[in-house]
Structure 1
Amino acid sequence: MTRHLKIAAIIFLIISALGFLDAAYLAIDHYRGNIPPCTIQGCEIVLTSAQSKIAGVPVALLGALYYFTLLILSIAYLDKKNEMLIKIASKLTPLGFVASLYFVYLQFFTIKAICQYCMASATTSTLLFITGMYIIVKMRHRSGGVEIKK
């Protein structure tokens, strides 16, 4: 593990943890029937909208599972030094990034309200995507452009 890859993996872990805390907070509040305090108007509108669930499952719970998966993979990578783990985590980030783009679109153009917690999640997804792509590029560059199979 190179120094740059280790630093990127630690950053990935921290961002994943922040995303998990944000999404888990929203998921727990959903199941408690609470709306979290919001410094901008719109959280309640977004969090109770028809778009806040997919097949009856809160989007926040799906987000928490996504971030938790990335968090576990990054912890395991740092512990086991198995590059396949961080590679898998990095390759999952486009899924979260595209989902975040879609949910931001829904907030602006369909729901016409903004949730600060949802925007925080979109920010963490974007940062994870950038960090994940950096990790993939670093791994390819180090191997001379050939993917490392581990």
Structure 2
Amino acid sequence: MSDTAQRSSQTSLGWIPWATLVVSIAGLAVAGYLTYEHFTAGTTLACPDTGVVNCAKVTSSQYSKVFGIPVALLGLGFFVGMTALSVPPLWRTSSPWPGRLRLAAVLVGVVFICYLIWAELFQINAICLWCTVVHGLTLILFALVIIRQALIPPAS
């Protein structure tokens, strides 16, 4: 890609760093809420507790922890990291590491939500609406990071 084409592409995609920051902060809020609910044994999930949509069933299942760590806390850690990696100056740095870490994080995030969706659909037989919001936000982050990586290669 020529310098002019790369600069034009960067200008037209300049909204992606801001979008990833906003999505990361939204994820931080939802994951923070789920973490709060987990540790307070809250019943305010604002989600039906009967039928297929049943947040309490999902968030208290054996799949709500991985190696003894609450999934909500892992999600909170993920979104803390993505928020830090999504601040616009880290998109503009000449170091390749923030971009590599951002890409690795969203790849791990997508693999993990695939596992969680499998658990909800085929093991728990219930869906948590709050968890689904986290899954959606993770997929949006994945798409934004991949689009940016694909269209604006790192500076050589």
What TM-score comes out, normalization by structure 1 length?
0.85
- Say what the alpha-carbon RMSD is for the aligned residues: 1.8
Q: Which runs of 5 or more structure 2 residues have no equivalent in the other structure?
A: 1-6
Number of residue pairs matched by the alignment: 141
The aligned counterpart of 2:132 is 119
Matched, 1:110 2:135: no
Structure 1, residues 21-49: CA drift from partner, whole Å, max 9, x if none? Answer: 11111111111121333333310000110
Confirm or deny: 8 A CA contact 1:35 1:47 kept in the other structure. Answer: no
Q: Which stretch shows the higher mean deviation, 25-34 or 114-123?
A: 25-34
Identity of aligned residues (%): 23
Matched, 1:54 2:66: yes
Output the amino acid matched with 1:148: A
Larger Rg over CA atoms: 2
Q: Offset at 1:55?
A: 1.7
Q: Which runs of 5 or more structure 1 residues have no equivalent in the other structure?
A: 141-146
The aligned counterpart of 2:83 is 71
Q: Offset at 1:96?
A: 0.6
Confirm or deny: 8 A CA contact 1:15 1:124 kept in the other structure. Answer: yes
The aligned counterpart of 1:133 is 146
SS at match of 1:130: helix
Q: Offset at 1:87?
A: 4.4
Structure 1, residues 86-127: CA drift from partner, whole Å, max 9, x if none? Answer: 443133211111111110111011000110000001101111
Output the amino acid matched with 2:152: M
Distance (Å, rounded) in 2 between the aligned partners of 1:26 and 1:104: 16
The aligned counterpart of 2:103 is 90
